[in-house]
Structure 1
Amino acid sequence: MATKTVTTDTFAQSVLTSDKPVLVDFWADWCHPCHMLAPVLEQLADERADDLVVAKVDVDAYPELAEQYGVRAFPTLKLFRAGRVVHTLVGATPKRVLVAELADHL
């Protein structure tokens, strides 16, 4: 399972009402750290497909989502559970750190 692209139209259904926790990557194409993080998120999506959805929001295409969730730096990762943000990480995070940060919430 790869990461899932979400839009303003699909955000509520894909993220807020998901029966699994959803890690949302707020990213931009011009953001070098975002590109560094992308393969880590793809791996995480594949490895944790049974208990986690990894979604991506292009903040240039959907700035209203970034504004709604207070995203001001990129990449920003927000973990949603039952429609609420339960954890936030900012910046390109190494996989081992990302997994450790998420462990308490999965």
Structure 2
Amino acid sequence: MSKGVITITDAEFETEVLKSEQPVLVYFWASWCGPCQLMSPLINLAANQYSDRLKVVKMEVDPNPLSVKQYGVEGVPALRLIQGEKLLESTEGVINKEKLLSLLEIHLNNN
């Protein structure tokens, strides 16, 4: 169902994230952020591995201040796992593959 990682903006957040039928992993990043470059392959992996149960979107923080403020993003890279309007999980900083997959498994296997 998923088409890989979808790039969105503040204007698309409600439609793509809050109204999604699937849980959504929102990846907040910045072009100037070195650690974000380390996370990108993991985000793509999650999008591919969980495409049947998860939507993955990425949002650049600088041009999208509304969503950044709404979800309390203080540093990048940051992840927010959202289902409907409920925040299921929140991380900031680089996390490894095992932690990311474990975090997703916990929430996706409950659905």
**TM-score between both structures, scaled by the size of structure 2:** 0.91
The corresponding residue for 2:6 is: 4
How well do the aligned residues superpose, as a CA RMSD in angstroms?
Answer: 0.9
Aligned to 1:84: 86
The letter of the residue matching 1:96 is E
In the aligned structure 2, how far is the partner of 1:97 from the partner of 1:10? Answer: 28
Give, as a single letter, the amino acid of the residue that structure 1 aligns with 2:44: E
1:49 is paired with a residue whose SS is coil
Counterpart of 1:59 in structure 2 is 61
Alignment: residue pair count:
106
Which of 93, 96, 100 is the equivalent residue of 1:94?
96
- 1:38 paired to 2:47: no
Tell me by how many angstroms 1:31 deviates. 0.6
Q: How far is 1:24 from its partner?
A: 0.2
Displacement of 1:102 after TM fit?
A: 2.0
Aligned counterpart, 1:75:
77
- 2-structure distance, mates of 1:11, 1:31: 22
Q: Please tell me whether residue 104 in structure 1 is matched to residue 106 in structure 2.
A: yes
Q: Secondary structure at the match of 1:85?
A: strand
SS at match of 2:74: coil
User: Which range moves more in the overlay, 18-27 or 84-93?
Assistant: 84-93
Question: Contact 2:82–2:88 at 8 Å: present in 1 too?
Answer: yes
- Aligned amino acid, residue 105 of structure 1: H
Gaps of 5+ in 2: none
Of 49, 64, 75 in structure 1, the residue corresponding to residue 51 of structure 2 is 49
Three-state SS of the structure 2 residue aligned to 1:105 is helix
